Amino acid sequence: MTTPMAFPDLSTSVVPFVVGLVVALALIWAVWMGIRFRRREPGPPDPADQPKLPRTGPVHEVREMREPDEMPHTDGGHRLTPHELHGYGNADSRRSKDQRPRRWSRGNSGAFGGGPGRT
């Protein structure tokens, strides 16, 4: 009497093993290549290469109210395209005459879009 085998054909038992071996070797190769690339990278900077404080001491934050930039108007009334906005976005802004910060006021929701506030 013969017992039936789980894998009667040799290829059905060898192919999954070979595929698993190829995947394992590919993972080992990837880790080895990563270690090689990592060794080529420069080391951490020396303490002498670190940034230094200016001679005048630490720079402090300046808080001031600025005027909003106005969109330029066109002559013909057409919509401006981005290439027509020369210097827009990096142009100097100006300091506001009123330096008091805006505060929340009653009846104003304080959220985007306005709204009735408290109801």
pLDDT digits (tens, 9 = 90+) for 54-93: 888 888 888 888 876 666 666 777 777 777 766 655 556 7
Tell me how many degrees the CA angle 110-113-116 measures, rounded to the nearest 5.
Answer: 65
Does position 29 have pLDDT exceeding 90, yes or no?
yes
pTM: 0.35
In this predicted structure, which of 19-28, 34-43, 89-98, 106-115 has the lowest mean pLDDT? Answer: 106-115
In terms of phi and psi (left: phi > 0; alpha: psi -120 to 50; beta: otherwise), the region of 18 is: alpha
**Across 35-56, average pLDDT:** 90
d(CA 34, CA 26): 12
Please check the confidence at residue 98 and state whether its pLDDT lies above 60: yes
